[in-house]
Structure 1
Amino acid sequence: MTTPNDPGQETNVPPETGRTLYSRADLRKVHNISESTLQNLWTDRENNGHPPVTATLDGVMHWDGEVWATWHHELQRRRAAASTTNPPKLDGDPEELVGPAEAAKICGFADSATVSHYVKNPPEGWPEPDDWDVLPTRRRPKWKRWRLWQYLAERKGRGHAGGRPKGRRGLAYPYQGDERLTLARQALAANPGAKNADLVAGLQVQTEKTYSRTVWNLILKSAREHPEE
């Protein structure tokens, strides 16, 4: 991490601003986000509103750390709201640490039993706890709100608070038999050579429930790899 008034740094930000700048490597460490996810967010910036580069230091792109974090938290909140038919609780401070009871409310679970089960047998994408409360007889996990929003946004399955819906196991490939995969195949057949960004908007209006761009990108990926049943 660096600030734009570091000596010898080339920057397009006035030195007096004093903003803390993060490179992609910094974002990966600070927010515990993979390199591939950060790259995908930047690639899809025209659709997701990714903040512009604040400065280029020694040829490396940097972003205002506070601006980037605020944008990313709100992105996860919106995507989480679009990814479930259950009523998730998506208000509150993104960085606040919450225990199992509040985590259940965030995810739209009936109670904290599902959260406790996920800690022991996590479904795909379930986040590792960010911290633990040490109690006399046990440890209680805690998560940052935005990590749970991110789980909701990116989990597999449709409108199901418990991860993948029944019957998902044993599929030959992702989304096999899913009506959305059929829609994606039809869109690809009708628009050969089109990019995902050009197709998602049209696909989103063809289903009763609105799914995030991330979900549709995964469906389109499967449709490209498996154009026929």
Structure 2
Amino acid sequence: MSRKTGRTLYSRADLRKVHGISEPTLQNLWTDRENNGHPPVAETVDGVMHWDGDAWATWHHELQRQRAAANTTNPPKLDGDPEEMVGPAEAAKVCGFSDSATVSHYLKSPPEGWPEPDDWDELPTRRRPKWKRWKLWKYVAERKGRGHAGGRKKGRRRLAYPYQGDDRLTLARQLLAANPGAKNADLIAELQEKSETAYSRTVWHLILKSAREHPEEE
């Protein structure tokens, strides 16, 4: 451990002690740094690499949070009047999606069993779909597949790989296919532009990693 200019610099041995992470895991994280967003070396002391302790901890906590999110689910919201008409934001809650982006995607490319809108709100610049709650409940009860971001089939089956079924993973796959050999740093800006919601670079690194390891839906 070394303290310089107000920073605490940690070697890999220090990280192992402070965070209780094995040497092989730390090595794997560093080896995969292009995909996972690992912080750069802050300084080399006597030939040993050191990292900013605070920056490393912040990055690692976010990495674990995202990995956990990929293997958990938001519970569907199944209360309310079954005949009530709800828009995309509420429909996402009913289905257990993390946000309405999945609903928007399903309008363009519906999965098996996804209901057609029961009505539309005519807004000044767009049309907003609406569904009856009970039709969304039916979809949640009967949906097929192994899972997707924000919601998973009844029984809470684990995802086969991180971000399986996530719209962002589909987007990353498409971009990788169109730009073979491109580095993550060159792809993230475009992914951000195409996404309706802003996500951190760490999140996109993890999504791109999964897309490279699983270029097709399994």
What TM-score range do you get, normalising by the shorter chain?
0.3 to 0.5
- TM-score when normalising by structure 2: 0.46
Structure having greater relative contact order (Cα 8 Å, sep ≥ 6): 2
